[in-house]
Chain A
Amino acid sequence: MHIKILGTGCANCKRLEAHTREAVARLGLNARIEKVEDLPDIMAYGIMSTPGLVVDEEVKLTGRVPSVRELERLLQPA
C-alpha cells in the first residue's frame, strides 16, 4: 500500500499525517507513507482543498482531517 499526504505543510496537513501514521500502526498495515509538498504535484491530483489523502494513486479525502477511527475504516483492506 502506498499512501500519500498532499499538503503544503500547514497545521492540518501535519495532523493528517500523524493520524494516518497512527491508523496504519493500529491496523498493522505494511504501507509506505509519503508526503507530497510540491504544489504542481499536489495540484496534479485535481484536489481543491488541502490536505488530501491518496491511497494507491486514488484520492480518498480532501479538505479535512478525519479522526484516527475514520481513517482505520478507510484504510482497512477490503
Chain B
Amino acid sequence: MWEALADALVYGLLGLDPASHGSQALHFFLYETLKIGFLLLLVTHLMGVVNAYFPVERVRRLIASGRLRGAEHLVASGFGAVTPFCSCSSIPLFIGFLQGGIPLGVTFSFLITSPLVNEVALALFLGLFGWKVTLVYAASGILLGTVLGWLLGRLKLERYVEAWVWQIAAQRVEAAAGPRPALRSQGAAISREAFGIMKKIGPYVLAGIGIGAFIHGYVPTGFFEAYISEHNPLAVPLSVLLAVPMYASASGVIPIVQALVAKGIPLGTAMAFMMGVVGLSLPEAMMLKKVMRVRLLGVFFGTVALSIILLGYTFNIIF
C-alpha cells in the first residue's frame, strides 16, 4: 500500500525517472516516512490503551501480591516493555517498586527492559526490519531484563542503594493515583500523548530516514563490510560502546542502521548497537545516580552492556 503511494507520488505526480539514484532515494524516503509514521501512530496509541488499563500502580500491586510464584522477574520485565519509558520517571518507579515491598532484583528486571523495549523502538523496528526481527528484538530484550534482574537480585546489592531511599520505602505509603478519568476523556488524552511523542521524535526520525535514503541510493553494497565485518571480533563491543552517547537521537539512529544492514553490516552487530543506543541511556544513568551508589550503577550498566555484547555475538552466529 505504501509502496504504491510512494510510486504514485515520485514517478507519477513528480514524473521522475525510476532509474536515477536521486528519485530512488526520494522514493525510499517517502515510502519509509509514510510507513513508519503510520506504525508509530498505531503502536503509540496501542501502548497508551494498555497503560490506561494497566497503570504502574496496578502492576506493582500484582507483582507485590506474591501470586506470581516465581514469575515476578518475567512479569516485571514484560511490563517494563509495554510501559512508555521516560528517564524522568525512572526514579519514582524505582522507589515506588521498593516501597511496594518488591525486591531489588525484580525492580531491576523492570528497569532494564523499560528503555530497551519501548513503543518507539518497536514501531521503527516493525517498519524497517519486519515483524520477525522485531519479535526477536522484543523477546531478547524481555529475556535480558528477566535474567539480569534475577542475577542482580542474588548479588545482595541493597546496601548500595542510597539510605534515604530505604527510609522512604519503609514508610509504605499507599499508592495515590487520584481518581481515574472517564474513558472518553482518557481516549482523547491517549491520542494527545501519542501525537506528542510523534512531534518530539519526528525530526529525528525524518533525519534518520533521510540519511538512510542517501545510503540506500548512493553507497555501494558491501562498502561497510570492509570495516565492520563478521570476522572482526571487536566489531560488536565497539559498536555497543559507540552507542552509549547516542541515546538522545535513538529514533534517528535506527533508520540509519537499517540502511547499513542493507549494505552488508551483520544484523547481530547492528542489533547490539541499537540495543546499546536505547538500553544504555546516559540521562537515565544521571537520574539513577541520585538513588544508587556509583558502584551499583556500574554493576547495573556493566552487566547490561556485557549481555548486549553477548547477544550481538549470538545473533551474528544465528543469522
> A59–B131 Cα gap in the complex (Å)?
41
> A63–B92 Cα gap in the complex (Å)?
10
Pick the contact of B99 from A12, A46, A50, A59 — CB < 8 Å?
A: A46
A12/B93 in contact, CB under 8 A? no
B92/A42 in contact, CB under 8 A? yes
Instruction: Kindly list chain A residues whose C-beta atoms are within 8 Å of the C-beta of B88.
Output: 7-8, 10, 12-13, 50
A64/B95 in contact, CB under 8 A? no
In the complex, which residues 255-291 of chain B have their Cβ closer than 8 Å to any Cβ of chain A?
Answer: 287, 290-291
How many residues of A are counted as interface, with CB atoms below 8 angstroms from the partner's CB atoms?
27
Instruction: Kindly list chain A residues whose C-beta atoms are within 8 Å of the C-beta of B193.
Output: 64
B91/A62 in contact, CB under 8 A? no
B178/A40 in contact, CB under 8 A? no
Q: Does A76 contact B (CB under 8 A)?
A: no
B176/A39 in contact, CB under 8 A? no
List 29 contacting pairs A-B, 8 Å CB cutoff, sorted by A: A8-B287, A10-B86, A40-B167, A42-B92, A43-B92, A44-B168, A44-B173, A45-B176, A46-B173, A46-B176, A47-B92, A47-B177, A48-B97, A49-B56, A49-B89, A49-B93, A50-B89, A50-B92, A53-B178, A59-B176, A59-B178, A60-B178, A61-B178, A62-B177, A63-B56, A66-B181, A67-B188, A70-B181, A70-B189
* 14 extra A-B contacts, CB within 8 A, seeds A47-B176, A61-B178: A10-B86, A43-B168, A44-B173, A46-B173, A46-B175, A47-B175, A48-B57, A48-B60, A48-B97, A49-B89, A50-B88, A62-B178, A67-B188, A70-B185
Task: Find the residue from B93, B168, B174 having the highest chain A CB count within 10 A.
Answer: B168
Closest to A66 in B: B189
Task: Find the residue from B89, B93, B96 having the highest chain A CB count within 10 A.
Answer: B89
Instruction: Kindly list chain B residues whose C-beta atoms are within 8 Å of the C-beta of A59.
Output: 176-178
User: Digit string of A18-34 for contact with B (CB within 8 Å is 1, else 0)?
Assistant: 00000000000000000
The dominant DSSP class at the B interface is helix
Instruction: Please give the distance in Å from A36's CB to the nearest CB on chain B.
Output: 12
Pick the contact of B92 from A12, A48, A64, A67 — CB < 8 Å?
A: A48
Instruction: Please give the distance in Å from B277's CB to the nearest CB on chain A.
Output: 21
Instruction: Please give the distance in Å from B96's CB to the nearest CB on chain A.
Output: 4
B176/A62 in contact, CB under 8 A? yes
Q: Does B55 contact A (CB under 8 A)?
A: yes
How many residue-residue contacts, CB under 8 A, span A and B?
77
Interface residues on B, range: 20 to 34
Contact flag A44-B171 (CB < 8 Å), given A50-B92, A61-B178: yes
Instruction: Please give the distance in Å from A68's CB to the nearest CB on chain B.
Output: 12
> A71–B66 Cα gap in the complex (Å)?
37
Instruction: Kindly list chain B residues whose C-beta atoms are within 8 Å of the C-beta of A50.
Output: 88-89, 92
Instruction: Kindly list chain B residues whose C-beta atoms are within 8 Å of the C-beta of A43.
Output: 91-92, 95-96, 99, 168
Instruction: Kindly list chain B residues whose C-beta atoms are within 8 Å of the C-beta of A8.
Output: 88, 91, 287
Instruction: Kindly list chain B residues whose C-beta atoms are within 8 Å of the C-beta of A49.
Output: 56, 89, 92-93
A63/B175 in contact, CB under 8 A? no
Q: Does B319 contact A (CB under 8 A)?
A: no
Instruction: Please give the distance in Å from B220's CB to the nearest CB on chain A.
Output: 42
Q: Does B164 contact A (CB under 8 A)?
A: yes
Closest to A48 in B: B96
Instruction: Kindly list chain B residues whose C-beta atoms are within 8 Å of the C-beta of A62.
Output: 176-178
Instruction: Kindly list chain B residues whose C-beta atoms are within 8 Å of the C-beta of A70.
Output: 181, 185, 189
Q: Does B192 contact A (CB under 8 A)?
A: yes
> A49–B168 Cα gap in the complex (Å)?
16
Instruction: Kindly list chain B residues whose C-beta atoms are within 8 Å of the C-beta of A42.
Output: 92
